[in-house]
């Protein structure tokens, strides 16, 4: 079954098509959720919520060829995670000045395995972890992050620099720093 046909089936709430899309993206989406929410059961629940919303609101999705499903799903998962973090109060970040720690360089991971990197990221405090993921992995700007998390740009920059600094220390401790 091709992806396009599966999406057409999903529009008709066809279970086989839905299972096909689920099998295709479940792993990747679970890892997306795990980057933001640490406990695995929570991440799994959020992933299921994301798929549920995707299937229920699939009429809003416009298929633009192969590769258009993944970013759409990622966005849904990200929203689910941010909503969860807001509910649990983990996103209450203290307002900070913009210039604080801005000069911290991006993290150099060297030959570090992706799995190791994911573990280190998940050890970061929720605020650092969220801003780091949004900026470094999802590619959002500080302005967009500020809007998403309802914080100032300065706070976003400060959280990112602190996350980088902390992650760098952890990478060095692991012995992966080149």
Partner 1 sequence: MPQQDIKTKLDELDTLSAGVVFEREEAWDKLQERLDRKPERKMLPWYRLVAAAALLLLLAGGWLRYRKQSAAMPEIAQKMLPKQQNQTNPGTAAMALPAMPTDIAPSAPYESAPNKQDDRRLVNTQALAEKSGITNPGTRHTTFPQEVDTLPAIHRTIQRKEPTGGYELAMVTNERKTYYLPAQRVMPVVHINDLEQEDNDSAEPAAGTGRNKEKKWIIDLEPAPLNFGTASIRNMKIVHVNALMEPAPYTNDEPVERQQHFISISFLAPFSNKLYNR
Which residue ranges make up the site for partner 1 (CB under 8 A)?
A: 13, 15, 18-19, 22-23, 26-28, 30-31, 34-35, 40, 44, 47-48, 51-52, 55-56, 105-109, 112-115, 117-118, 136-137, 139
Nearer to partner 1, 97 or 110 (CB): 110
Nearer to partner 1, 88 or 113 (CB): 113
CB of 130 to partner 1, least distance (A): 15
CB of 22 to partner 1, least distance (A): 6
Nearer to partner 1, 33 or 91 (CB): 33
Determine the Cα angle at 110 with ends 108 and 115, to 5°: 100
Q: Tokens 């992650």 identify what position? A: 167
Eight-state DSSP code of residue 151: -
Other CB atoms within 10 Å distance of the CB of residue 35: 21
Other CB atoms within 10 Å distance of the CB of residue 114: 9
Instruction: Give CA separation, 99 vs 34, 156, 157, 160, in Å.
Output: 30, 11, 8, 12
Burial group, residue 44, by CB count within 10 angstroms (0-12, 13-18, 19+): middle
Crossing angle (nearest 10°) for helices 15-36 and 69-88: 50
CB of 94 to partner 1, least distance (A): 25
CB of 109 to partner 1, least distance (A): 6
Nearer to partner 1, 59 or 95 (CB): 59
CB of 27 to partner 1, least distance (A): 5
Nearer to partner 1, 66 or 89 (CB): 66
């Amino acid at each position: 079954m091709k992806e396009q046909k599966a999406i057409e089936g999903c529009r008709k709430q066809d279970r086989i098509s839905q299972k096909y899309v689920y099998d295709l993206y479940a792993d990747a989406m679970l890892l997306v959720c795990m980057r933001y929410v640490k406990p695995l059961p929570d991440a799994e629940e959020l992933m299921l919520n994301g798929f549920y919303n995707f299937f229920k609101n699939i009429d809003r999705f416009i298929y633009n060829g192969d590769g258009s499903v993944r970013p759409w799903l990622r966005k849904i998962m990200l929203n689910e995670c941010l909503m969860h973090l807001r509910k649990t109060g983990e996103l209450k970040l203290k307002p900070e000045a913009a210039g604080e720690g801005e000069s911290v360089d991006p993290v150099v991971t060297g030959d570090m395995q992706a799995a190791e990197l994911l573990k280190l990221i998940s050890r970061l405090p929720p605020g650092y972890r969220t801003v780091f993921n949004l900026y470094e992995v999802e590619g959002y700007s500080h302005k967009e992050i500020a809007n998403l998390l309802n914080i100032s740009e300065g706070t976003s920059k400060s959280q990112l620099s602190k996350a980088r600094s902390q992650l760098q220390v952890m990478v060095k401790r692991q012995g992966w720093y080149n």
